[in-house]
């Protein structure tokens, strides 16, 4: 019996809405290196959340809203005000990435995208290789904007293809067809030097044969980055209602785990190996933005529902678009909550995030950074090393393929924040 695949951690979900998981589809789980450049002090990532979609996908639990219309100018002004607020809090930083997520940010007027990029570049010094990603859906209206978005400064597109099969796309409630997806990919590859696309697998009825055919096709399309997620049924979604009504049965966990192992083998053979639980890239084509989340760097998050983590604080913005606009009008920013992260919370999060990466995580560095003697129970870690679930090099821990299938379980086993002993004067 294979244990369930790891569920997405809270931070990953935060990321998507301004925290870590930009390149992650809602209602999906992350199935399950090389050393990568580390984010240094003073560096900053910026997440911008655009909350609108043309329709709501039945698996989606992201902060996305369908509206008959919205005032692009009002949204431009609101996002610029929210950005200026973060800039006042974070002077002197160097911006390394901007990520426009959603929702469907390819619905944004490219002029707004250009304004935000311009303002961010005024507020902060920018890295010479500033990565600017925008998530896009592949319907023809949005694809027609790709050249304008590239002119606005976007240099990396993340395309939500999700499947090459029309039946699967209908099941997922997607507003595009497989042929539109292929055309959008071609268009995007003409406009952007770096294009990533998402696929969702482990759908009901998926088999190793059907998934290996689709993944093989994906790997033949010349992309340097892929996000491959397993479908999960999130509470409160239409799919959750359908499963409760027995309209369909999710794929069982053993079958899903087998598909994950197949994915790992095929992407490695194609030299697009995983660098994170569900993200795969050619060498030096990893998402710099998401690496900031997983390496526990600072990021500002603006826009409805966006999360941020900066200066030891967690920030959360108003989720509902109308409430966000009211917050901006009232206070000049969209923050609904701003709370300090305790050293224990921060150390736990940093460990959780870091273990997602193929490069692993230096638990000793985390302990030192947050003032603990240790953040790991090394006796248990060594036991898991002996059983082949992780590798240990000093205080660096890297999960093996078997360990990545059991990420949540392993975290529960080894996470153990131990305070530094304080000498008490007698
Ligand atoms: S397009 Fe993306 S964000 Fe919008 S409803 Fe569908 S899954 Fe959610």
Ligand 1: which of 18, 28, 64, 142 to mutate, most ligand atoms within 8 Å of CB? 64
Centre of ligand 1 from the C-alpha of residue 373, in Å: 43
Helices vs strands, H then E, count in the chain = 17, 18
Label residue 417 by pLDDT band (50, 70, 90).
Answer: confident
Tokens standing for 412?
């529960």
Centre of ligand 1 from the C-alpha of residue 34, in Å: 32
Which of the two residues, 258 and 143, has the higher pLDDT score? 258
Label residue 35 by pLDDT band (50, 70, 90).
Answer: very low
Atom of ligand 1 nearest to the CA of 27: 7
Ligand 1, atom 3: nearest CA belongs to which residue? 103
Distance CA 215, CA 226 (A): 10
Atom of ligand 1 nearest to the CA of 25: 7
Q: Is 44 helix (H, G, I), strand (E, B) or coil?
A: strand
Ligand 1 neighbour 60 (Cβ under 6 A)? yes
User: Taken in order 244, 238, 47, 83, is the CA torsion positive or negative?
Assistant: negative
Ligand 1, atom 6: nearest CA belongs to which residue? 57
Between the two ends of the chain, the Cα-to-Cα distance in Å is 55
| Contact of 112 with 79, CB cutoff 8 Å | yes
Ligand 1 neighbour 169 (Cβ under 6 A)? no
pTM of the model: 0.90
Average confidence (pLDDT) over 58-66: 96
Label residue 141 by pLDDT band (50, 70, 90).
Answer: confident
Residue 11: the pLDDT is 27
Residue 79: the pLDDT is 98
Label residue 423 by pLDDT band (50, 70, 90).
Answer: very low
Using CA atoms, how far residue 45 sits from 90, 125, 131, 212, 299, in Å, is: 11, 12, 9, 35, 4
Residue 142: the pLDDT is 82
Atom of ligand 1 nearest to the CA of 137: 1
Label residue 26 by pLDDT band (50, 70, 90).
Answer: low
Query: Phi and psi dihedrals of 308, rounded to 5?
Result: -140, 165
Q: What is the pLDDT of residues 232-249, one digit of tens each?
A: 999 999 999 999 999 999
Q: What is the pLDDT of residues 345-374, one digit of tens each?
A: 999 999 999 999 999 999 999 999 999 999
- Angle 72-89/110-123 helices, nearest 10 degrees? 20
Ligand 1: which of 104, 137, 141, 163 to mutate, most ligand atoms within 8 Å of CB? 104
Label residue 301 by pLDDT band (50, 70, 90).
Answer: very high
Strands 94-102 and 415-419: unpaired
Label residue 33 by pLDDT band (50, 70, 90).
Answer: very low
Least confident range from 1-10, 163-172, 226-235, 338-347: namely 1-10
Label residue 29 by pLDDT band (50, 70, 90).
Answer: low
Record: fold of 10-294: TIM Barrel (3.20.20)
Ligand 1 neighbour 96 (Cβ under 6 A)? no
CATH 3.20.20.70 domain extents, the chain: 10-294
Centre of ligand 1 from the C-alpha of residue 173, in Å: 9
**Chain-wide mean pLDDT for the chain?**
90
Residue 143: the pLDDT is 86
Residue 419: the pLDDT is 74
């Amino acid at each position: 019996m294979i244990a369930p695949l790891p569920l997405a951690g809270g931070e990953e979900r935060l990321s998507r809405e301004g925290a870590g998981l930009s390149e992650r589809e809602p209602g999906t789980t992350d199935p399950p290196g090389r050393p990568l450049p580390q984010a240094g002090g003073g560096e900053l990532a910026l997440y911008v959340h655009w909350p609108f979609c043309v329709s709501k996908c039945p698996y989606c639990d992201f902060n996305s809203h369908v509206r008959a219309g919205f005032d692009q100018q009002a949204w431009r002004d609101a996002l610029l005000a929210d950005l200026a607020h973060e800039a006042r809090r974070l002077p002197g930083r160097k911006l390394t990435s901007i990520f426009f997520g959603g929702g469907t940010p390819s619905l944004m007027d490219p002029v707004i995208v250009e304004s935000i990029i311009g303002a961010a570049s005024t507020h902060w010094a920018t890295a010479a290789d500033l990565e600017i990603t925008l998530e896009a859906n592949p319907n023809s209206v949005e694809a027609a904007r790709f050249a304008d978005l590239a002119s606005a400064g976007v240099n990396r597109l993340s395309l939500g293809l999700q499947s090459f099969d029309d039946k699967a796309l209908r099941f997922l409630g997607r507003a595009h067809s497989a042929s539109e997806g292929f055309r959008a990919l071609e268009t995007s590859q003409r406009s952007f030097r770096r294009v990533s696309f998402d696929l969702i697998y482990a759908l009901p009825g998926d088999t190793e044969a059907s998934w290996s055919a689709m993944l093989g096709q994906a790997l033949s399309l010349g992309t340097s980055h892929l996000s491959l997620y397993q479908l999960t049924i999130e509470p409160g979604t239409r799919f959750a209602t359908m499963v409760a009504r027995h309209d369909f049965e999710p794929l069982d966990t053993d079958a899903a785990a087998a598909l994950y192992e197949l994915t790992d083998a095929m992407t490695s053979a194609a030299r697009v190996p995983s660098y994170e639980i569900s993200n795969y890239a050619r060498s030096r084509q990893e998402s710099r933005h998401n690496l900031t989340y997983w390496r526990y760097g600072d990021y500002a998050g603006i826009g409805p529902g966006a999360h941020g983590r900066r200066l030891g604080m967690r920030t959360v913005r108003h989720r509902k678009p109308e409430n966000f606009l009211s917050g901006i009008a009232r206070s000049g920013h969209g923050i609904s909550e701003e709370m300090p992260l305790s050293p224990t919370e921060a150390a736990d999060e940093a460990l959780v995030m870091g273990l997602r990466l193929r490069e692993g995580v230096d638990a000793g560095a985390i302990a030192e950074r947050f003032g603990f003697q240790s953040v790991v129970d090394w006796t248990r870690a060594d036991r898991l090393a002996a059983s082949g679930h992780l590798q240990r090099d000093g205080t660096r821990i890297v999960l093996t393929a078997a360990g990545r299938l059991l990420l949540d379980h392993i975290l529960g086993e080894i996470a153990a924040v131990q305070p530094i002993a304080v000498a008490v004067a007698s």
